[in-house]
Amino acid sequence: MPDDSLLHRDTRRLDGLVAVVTGAAFGPKAALGSVFAAALAAAGASVVVADIVDAEPVAAALRAKGGRAVAVPVDVTDEGAVEAMAAKAEEVFGRLDILVNNAVVGSNIPPVPLAELDVAAFDRVIAVGLRGSVLCAKAAAPRMARNGWGKIVNIGSTTMQEGLPNRLHYVSMKGGVLALTRALARELGPQGIRVNTLATGLVANPAAGAAFAARPELVAKIRAARAIPEDVTPDDLAGPLVFLCSPESDAITGQFIVADKGAHFT
């Protein structure tokens, strides 16, 4: 028989914890981030909703539902701004326990071959997705270490596994994010900080809307290739994210966790 404690776990398993989610404003490019912020708040966490654009509507919506949330403007490529974001989390909520590195650009850049690669666009994708994740981890880790516990979840992509052609900027960045995850897991583990990558493939959200409309045959092919032949939605990622941010996943670090309904097995 299962242990009763496993059958009756408190769904608010993040009570008392403080989370920062980057790239979490409303809008087509941040659909995942706002869902992640809502999921963490519903699980009991106080949430810093961070984005380079106005994130106050997301924070206000969370507060209206009884959550604790504050919006913080941040450019994740700016070290000073990132440090100020982490300091704001401590100022408002008293601590920092969870970091979700979700800020990204480039997922919807049209595919181009190497010969036509815009190096400035490549640099921007790397700066936001990889440099931004490094800077956020650098600001968050010392604060987590003071409490002897922390969770960093980097948002990855299965495009890195596929080596998807003509998307060198995005694939390279996501590959770097996984390497960062593994290096940080080794470095920060002795301080009680767990670091993982949560990855998916094509997600049915506003950011992918144009792709879904323009290439229905491709979307159907992707859907059919999944063990569960359905669309993957932002809500499908909320449960795995909360789990990776909770004490329930304390034995998991340095891992590439794929939530794509069985398109890829790792």
Active site residues: 170
Q: Is 52:83 a contact under the CB 8 Å cutoff? A: no
Cα distance between the two ends of the chain = 30
Establish how many alpha carbons lie within 13 A of residue 229's alpha carbon, considering only the half-sphere containing its beta carbon.
5
Q: Count CB atoms within 10 A of the CB of residue 71.
A: 22
φ/ψ of 158, rounded to 5, equals -75, -10
User: Edge-to-edge, what's the strand order for the sheet holding 46-51?
Assistant: 69-73, 46-51, 18-22, 98-101, 150-157, 193-200, 256-258
Establish how many alpha carbons lie within 13 A of residue 113's alpha carbon, considering only the half-sphere containing its beta carbon.
1
Q: Count CB atoms within 10 A of the CB of residue 129.
A: 30
